[in-house]
Structure 1
Amino acid sequence: MSKGPVSQFIQHHYRHFNAAALVDAAKGYEQHLLDGGKMMITLAGAMSTAELGVSLAEMIRQDKVHIISCTGANLEEDIMNLVAHTHYKRIPNYRDLTPQEEWQLLEEGLNRVTDTCIPEHEAFRKIQHHIARLWKEADKAGERYLPHEFMYKLLLSGVMKDDYEIDPKDSWMVAAAEKNLPIIVGGWEDSTMGNIFASYVIKNEVKATTMKSGIEYMVWLTEWYRNNSGGKGVGFFQLGGGIAGDFPICVVPMMYQDLEWHDVPFWSYFCQVSDSTTSYGSYSGAVPNEKITWGKLGIDTPKYIVESDATIVAPLIFAYILGW
């Protein structure tokens, strides 16, 4: 595959240290796909608010990613940006804000993520009445779904299309819904929509069991991994730390150690992109070799770590894989 100007640039200029690790990881990812492997991408932090969808959506459309694990926040924030983009407010001098200025943002309904404020009314509330209707309809019918399945139903229904404020080709959730891409969302309750759902449970408007649980995600992932880990196997491309990566990577040792299925292959590629430097007791700062001791990676698993900002690194690696 011929490479475009972005790929040529990083190959020529990114020769050492984290820059070289970025190129190595990109080439390893590409080779994994060329060898017939599949890839999981995990999204921590606020990758959706960082508008990673601009490159990730194309990765999904071109089958460069086969399953995604993300936080509940990333699941919803891509859709929030889709329907409320023009109402977002960027604050380049966010480091200089006083507590009083932060309070003023709250009063204006602006919830800050680093330099970007999510408009509560236009984002959360615009989605809430649509998704709540789906929750209640499922509850009434005695049906149960996973969090991302409700989001897929919302997007595929087309009910919000008139509210789109960006080109939907830049939404990774739209691309994922159209592909029916598998998504894993550990700890979905720790999200705005999760909090809203909990409020409906407290008000007795829906049953908690209408939303399938994290355990059910893990059970489903077990079957998916068993069905997809043949041949070259499944790679693990982790952006940031936290539950988005911790939750799904454990499916391998769970099957091997707890189910005693000794024919389960390790993850066959591993890369973590994080600004968490190597540290003591931190999973996000643990070097890949530590995962060997937990039965997640093998001795020969290609391993990469890029200690840098994922919002900078991920689009460059995706550009290389896409040939841009």
Structure 2
Amino acid sequence: MSVTRGPISKFMEGHYLHFNAAAMMDAAKGYETHLDEGGKMMITLAGAMSTAELGISLAEMIRQDKVSIISCTGANLEEDIMNLVAHSHYKRVPNYRDLTPQDEWDLLENHYNRVTDTCIPEEEAFRRLQKHIQEIWTNAEKAGERYFPHEYMYKMLLSGVLEQYYEIDPKNSWMLAAAEKNLPIVVPGWEDSTMGNIFASYVMKNELQASTVKSGIEYMGYLADWYIKNSGGKGIGFFQIGGGIAGDFPICVVPMLYQDMEMENIPFWTYFCQISDSTTSYGSYSGAVPNEKITWGKLDINTPKFIVESDATIVAPLIFAWILKM
């Protein structure tokens, strides 16, 4: 059956023939084949992909069931929602490479926190969410309930309390798309995010109990249970954007189940792709070639493996465009 593709996909097919461009095409076609054969896919988000507005393409991937589960940093979990409610207040600094320490200090004094060329407005982004999420945390604790960080975010989004602030088309928010699908999300190291810091401050002031938000160990158990239930058939692929904890935490579920839980028939990840501009090097997780993961019991010898050494803000939307036949 012939596939009708849009202009972006046709351009990619005609022009991206060599080097990293070809690696990107191989990875995109491998992702597509994995789904066509009945496989599921995890996407992991490191870096500041939400502030880079990856939601413009990722939200549609979620709506079209091209991703089954996401692992992300706490920053990516919250920054997509911040962009949803405070977009017009963001400040772009195209000459960010030329900023002096005094320039950076001036941004701080004006309540802007910089991510490369984009400054997040503290009052409109952080504080706008804080009063609503704090109420949800408090109500859960009073009811004797405990939830994961992403579940609290889902509650806030689905309650409608943020709709009064929307400043972008909500179809471009990947977190809103995920909440509407109740997509499984794993958020390792949530504590180092802004909302994690805010929650910790309430705990230190004895206004909330630490146990009201479920922990990283509980996230690993949640992921393990999901993996066991979903790894049959074609299995689960692993599409990693960047490195760090967003990727390293979830990929470890396979060796944990095999080695520590002694589940000798647990399948390996059945597709692997990493987009990273980290130089291949010794001792680096982000810079490790995929074959190194074989020695850790994460990937099989025959797992299709791809690495695209480029800027994820360019590559990921293009791969998603290919998957979506745009």
TM value normalised by structure 1: 1.00
Cα distance in 2 for partners of 1:232, 1:277 equals 32
> Partner residue of 1:228?
230
How big is each residue's C-alpha offset from its partner over 1:241-291, in whole Å with a ceiling of 9 and x where there is no partner? 000000000000000011111010000000000100201100000000000
DSSP-derived class of the 1:33 partner: helix
Cα-to-partner distance string for 1:38-62 (whole Å, 9 max, x where unaligned): 0000000100000000000000000
The letter for the 2-side match of 1:137 is: N
Report the equivalent of 2:57: 55
Distance in 1 of aligned mates of 2:226 and 2:213: 20
**Distance in 2 separating the partners of 1:99 and 1:202:** 32
Kindly provide the amino acid, as one letter, of the partner of residue 222 in structure 1.
Answer: A
User: Is 1:81–2:86 an aligned residue pair?
Assistant: no
AA of the residue aligned to 2:48: A
Q: Which of 320, 323, 326 pairs up with 1:321?
A: 323
In the alignment, which residue of structure 1 is the partner of 2:6? Answer: 4
Which residue in 2 is equivalent to 1:145? 147
Post-superposition offset of 1:209: 0.3
**Which of 125, 133, 139 is the equivalent residue of 2:127?**
125
Amino acid corresponding to residue 314 of structure 1 in structure 2: A
Structure 2: runs of 5+ lacking an equivalent: none
- Within 2, Cα distance between the matches of 1:252 and 1:167? 38
**Structure-2 separation of matches of 1:235 and 1:52:** 20
State the 1:108 CA deviation: 0.3
Is structure 2 residue 25 aligned with structure 1 residue 23?
A: yes
Aligned to 1:184: 186
In the TM superposition, residue 142 of structure 1 has moved relative to its aligned partner by 1.1
Moved over 6 A (4+): none
CA shift digits 1:60-102 (9 cap, x unpaired) = 0000000000000000000000000000000000000000000
* CA apart distance, 1:11: 0.8
- How many residues are paired up? 324
Q: What are the residue-to-residue correspondences of 1:252-291 with 2, within 5 Å?
A: 252-291=254-293
Q: Are 1:209 and 2:207 counterparts?
A: no
1:285 alignment partner AA: G
CA distance in 2, matches of 1:178, 1:277: 38
Q: Secondary structure at the match of 1:238?
A: strand
Cα displacement (A) at 1:119: 0.2
Distance 1:143 1:178 in 2: 21
Q: What is the SS of the residue equivalent to 1:40?
A: strand
- Over aligned residues, Cα RMSD in angstroms? 0.4
Q: TM-score, normalised by structure 2?
A: 0.99
Name the residue aligned to 2:309: 307
Q: Which amino acid aligns with 2:31?
A: Y
Quick check: 1:170 aligned with 2:172? Answer: yes
> What is the percentage of aligned positions where both structures have the same residue?
78
Letter of the 2:46 partner, please give it.
A
